[in-house]
Amino acid sequence: MSLQDTLETNIKRIVDFLIYSKNFIIRKSPLKALMNSIVEGLKDFLTMKKKLKMAQYRLNYHRHQFQKMEQLIAENNQHSFLKGNHLNETR
């Protein structure tokens, strides 16, 4: 095998590799996926405070509903030791 054949084979392999790489980048588009993940991360980061406020609102709402339910149970229970704030001690 001569030097020219070796060079042609190596150049053909390099060209094939570049073609495969180009097709992979076109098919998978890693830069586009990276940009999308960065944009999603920024959106999550910038809306974090709003999401936290909504979660706190929901938590306070459910806590209020729970306290109203506890109060109704305490008021309608015939046992006097469950009236008022003593319900928390009996749980």
Summarised one tens digit per residue, pLDDT across range 44-69 is 999 999 999 999 999 999 999 999 99
pLDDT band at 74 (very low <50, low <70, confident <90, very high): confident
| pTM attached to this predicted model | 0.47
Domain spans of the chain, in order of start: 1-46, 49-91
Q: Over range 22-38, report the average pLDDT.
A: 91
Place of tokens 């910038």: 46
Maximal C-alpha separation, the chain? 105
DSSP assignment of 35-49, as one string?
HHHHHHHHHHHHTHH
Distance from first CA to last CA of the chain, Å, rounded?
89
Tell me the percentage of the chain whose pLDDT exceeds 90. 63
Vertex 78 angle, CA 73 and 79, to 5°: 95
Contact 82, 70 (CB under 8 A): no
Q: Is the pLDDT of residue 75 over 80?
A: no
